[in-house]
């Protein structure tokens, strides 16, 4: 067991998978000579050479398309797109090709590729570089969408993604790269499509993913000091979505708050709220509440940016309002 950053866990896992399987190779802008914009691929060009760590032109549609072709021919490309915002330039390749080929070819051809990409605000990168548009991809059958929140989960889920025979979008919130956590010496691949109950509780369920899953864990710790027992469900996988774990948790606690690092309208949280309504309506003691960012293009100004993003304080307020509505507190 070692304590490492989220960044280091990703790098170590990429290296381990490249050593394990010669069909695994990396593609992306500046991932080789420059060692990646976020240094996830540091040292890998030197170790594995340009055949397996390939710098690409600034042409997302082109190199994602090339990766799809490589995957169809039996390789396992791991593509780094510098931010999820730039993935929109490759939307046609991801949505109309990577996600559709297995079905359109009648199962005769798979697309075993991973697209790693960071997103999220809080870094003063401006409105067009600070988005969480995972909803676009979570909507698409044929894709798998993962969003781990800790170094251990990042390692286990990246292993699973690389070994999976379907295309996987692997989300990394920028705010997580320097966070630390314990990672086992031997990491087994995670089960894709399975949420994790990271903290058990009896009073309320907090449901989140990626950065907000860490915030939810911190809030649950704070609430415990005030006598509130909060259960935390870290989704980890947005498609497939583990509806069973969500519903089972809410049935136990009787109320829920959903936290996401994205806009409220039409968001991931709306899908989770609908899941709770369908599967746990008769167990609810209060309406489901959602915590999300302000519905604005994210400001560059640091004070305005922080004001727009969901916070621990906003989550605590939602929890207290929900519990008050139950009449239990």
Could you tell me if 18 and 158 lie in one domain? yes
Which range of residues forms the domain containing residue 257? 196-326
DSSP string, 45-91: HHHH-TTTEEE--S-HHHHHHHHHHHHHTT-EEEEEPS-GGGGGGGH
**Cβ contacts of residue 278 below 8 Å, gap of 6+?**
none
Q: Taking residues 31-46, what's their average pLDDT?
A: 96
Same domain membership, residue 208 and residue 121:
no
Looking at the structure, tell me whether residues 17 and 92 fall in a common domain: yes
Whether 189 maps to a domain, the answer reads no
Q: pLDDT digit string (tens) for 125-179?
A: 999 999 999 999 999 999 999 999 999 999 999 999 999 999 999 999 999 999 9
The three-point CA angle 211-9-36 to 5° equals: 90
Total number of domains constituting the chain: 2
Asked whether residue 200 carries a pLDDT value surpassing 90, the answer given is yes
Instruction: Convert the pLDDT of each residue in 101-139 to its tens digit.
Output: 999 999 999 999 999 999 999 899 999 999 999 999 999
The catalytic residue among 17, 29, 35, 60 is 60
| Cα 269 from Cα 239, distance rounded (Å) | 13
**Domain finish residue from 145, 160, 183:** 183
The verdict on 208 and 235 lying in the same domain is yes
The alpha carbon dihedral of 174, 176, 180, 181 has a sign of negative
Among residues 194, 239, 219, 174, which one has the least CA distance to residue 323? 219
- The most distant pair of C-alpha atoms in the chain lies apart, rounded to whole Å, by 63
Q: Which of 158, 183, 208 is the last residue of a domain?
A: 183
Share of the chain above pLDDT 90, in %: 97
Q: What is the CATH number of the domain that holds 49?
A: 3.40.50.970
Residue 97 annotated to the active site: no
CATH number, domain with residue 218: 3.40.50.920
- Quote the pLDDT of residue 159: 98
- Report the pLDDT averaged over residues 240-247: 98
Q: Which of 80, 129, 153, 271 is catalytic?
A: 129
Same domain for 221 and 254: yes
C-alpha 92/C-alpha 106 separation (Å) is 20
Q: Confirm if 179 and 224 have CB atoms less than 8 A apart.
A: no
| Residue 62 located in a structural domain | yes
Identify the pLDDT of residue 328. 67
Nearest Cα to Cα of residue 248 among 217, 287, 275, 211:
275
Whether residue 319 sits in one domain with residue 209: yes
Structural domain contains residue 188: no
Question: In the chain, helix, strand, coil percent, each to 5?
Answer: 45, 20, 35
* Residue 102, pLDDT score: 97
């Amino acid at each position: 067991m070692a304590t490492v950053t989220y960044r280091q866990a990703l790098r170590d896992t990429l290296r381990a998978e490249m050593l394990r399987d010669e069909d695994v190779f990396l593609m992306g802008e500046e991932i080789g000579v420059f060692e990646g914009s976020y240094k996830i691929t540091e040292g890998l060009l030197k170790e594995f050479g340009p055949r397996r760590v390939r710098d690409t032109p600034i042409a997302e549609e082109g190199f994602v398309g090339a990766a799809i072709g490589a995957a169809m021919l039996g390789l396992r490309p791991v593509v780094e797109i510098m931010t999820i915002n730039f993935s929109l330039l490759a939307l046609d390749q991801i949505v109309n090709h990577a996600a559709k080929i297995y079905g359109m070819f009648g199962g005769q051809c798979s697309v075993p590729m991973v697209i790693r990409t960071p997103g999220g605000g809080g870094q003063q990168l401006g409105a067009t570089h600070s988005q969480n548009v995972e909803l676009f991809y979570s909507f698409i059958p044929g894709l798998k969408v993962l969003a781990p929140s800790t170094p251990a989960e990042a390692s286990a889920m990246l292993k699973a993604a690389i070994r999976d025979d379907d295309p996987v979008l692997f989300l990394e919130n920028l705010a997580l790269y320097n966070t630390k956590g314990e990672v086992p010496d031997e990491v087994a691949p995670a089960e894709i499509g399975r949420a994790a109950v990271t903290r058990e509780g009896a009073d309320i369920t907090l449901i989140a993913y990626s950065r907000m899953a860490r915030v939810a864990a911190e809030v649950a710790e704070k609430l415990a000091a005030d006598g509130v027992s909060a259960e935390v469900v870290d989704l980890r996988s947005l498609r497939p979505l583990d509806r069973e774990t969500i519903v089972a948790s809410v049935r136990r606690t009787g109320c829920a708050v959903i936290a996401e690092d994205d806009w409220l309208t039409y968001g991931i949280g709306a899908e989770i709220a609908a899941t709770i309504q369908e599967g746990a309506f008769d167990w609810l003691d209060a309406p489901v509440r959602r915590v999300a960012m302000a519905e604005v293009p994210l400001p560059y100004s640091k004070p305005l940016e922080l004001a727009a993003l969901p916070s621990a304080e906003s989550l605590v307020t939602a929890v207290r309002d929900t519990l008050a509505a139950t009449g239990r507190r």
